[in-house]
């Protein structure tokens, strides 16, 4: 019985990675949709500034959703793709209609904390599996998102 997948990684460790990546995918998908809502519904004095910033963020999240799903496929597993499963899996919950910029930014910061924490867990799993592809992806995400956290935090202080 073959114990490695098509890219030479241990199948059992790859399965564990794929499961955690599907959890990340669910969180990214809810985060994405929430950010679309902030973009559409934001009101007030900082409308133009935040409207553009939220669009920039949801475009970035959309790219990450695709990259994570493709990484799951690369590992030899199926990415989840329906919102019923996302709602069961995601730690990030759907936001209600948010029109206040400070509230939206606060929820974005909470979502970043969730995904960064998950990505750090994935770094440990990918290191154990000798999976440089997942490791590099998560490292890149964390570096960029930590900077975003700093910038969004500066906005609300």
- Domain assignment present for residue 111? The answer is yes
- Domain assignment present for residue 26? The answer is yes
Q: How confident is the model at residue 157, as a pLDDT?
A: 79
Q: What percentage of the chain exceeds 90 in pLDDT? A: 97
Rounded alpha-carbon distances, angstroms, from residue 147 to 11, 49, 151: 34, 18, 6
- Domain assignment present for residue 5? The answer is no
Scanning 75-156, the segments in alpha helix (DSSP H) are 83-89, 101-128, 132-156
CA distance 1 to 73: 21
CATH number for 95: 1.20.1260.10
- Domain assignment present for residue 3? The answer is no
Q: How confident is the model at residue 55, as a pLDDT?
A: 98
User: Nearest 5 degrees, angle CA 17-CA 75-CA 63?
Assistant: 85
- Domain assignment present for residue 87? The answer is yes
pLDDT tens sequence across 95-153: 999 999 999 999 999 999 999 999 999 999 999 999 999 999 999 999 999 999 999 99
- Total domains in the chain come to 1
- Domain assignment present for residue 4? The answer is no
- Do 27 and 68 contact (CB within 8 A), yes or no? no
- Residue range of the domain that includes 24: 11-156
pLDDT class of 2 with cuts at 50, 70, 90: confident
pLDDT tens sequence across 42-85: 999 999 999 999 999 999 999 999 999 999 999 999 999 999 99
Task: Please give the radius of gyration of the chain, using alpha carbons only, rounded to the nearest integer.
Answer: 17
pTM for this entry: 0.95
CA distance 18 to 12: 10
- Domain assignment present for residue 2? The answer is no
């Amino acid at each position: 019985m073959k114990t490695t997948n098509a890219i030479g990684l241990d199948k059992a460790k790859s399965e564990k990675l794929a499961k955690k990546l599907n959890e990340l995918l669910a969180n990214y998908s809810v985060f994405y949709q929430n950010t679309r809502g902030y973009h559409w519904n934001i009101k007030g004095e900082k409308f133009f500034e935040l409207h553009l910033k939220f669009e920039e963020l949801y475009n970035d999240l959309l790219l990450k959703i695709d990259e994570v799903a493709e990484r799951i496929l690369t590992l030899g597993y199926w990415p989840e793709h329906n919102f019923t499963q996302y709602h069961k899996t995601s730690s990030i919950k759907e936001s209600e209609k948010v029109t206040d910029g400070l509230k939206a930014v606060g929820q974005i910061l909470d979502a970043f904390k969730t995904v960064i924490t998950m990505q750090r867990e994935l770094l440990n799993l990918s290191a154990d599996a000798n999976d440089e592809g997942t490791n590099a992806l998560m490292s890149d995400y964390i570096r960029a998102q930590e900077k975003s956290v700093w910038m969004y935090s500066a906005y609300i202080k």
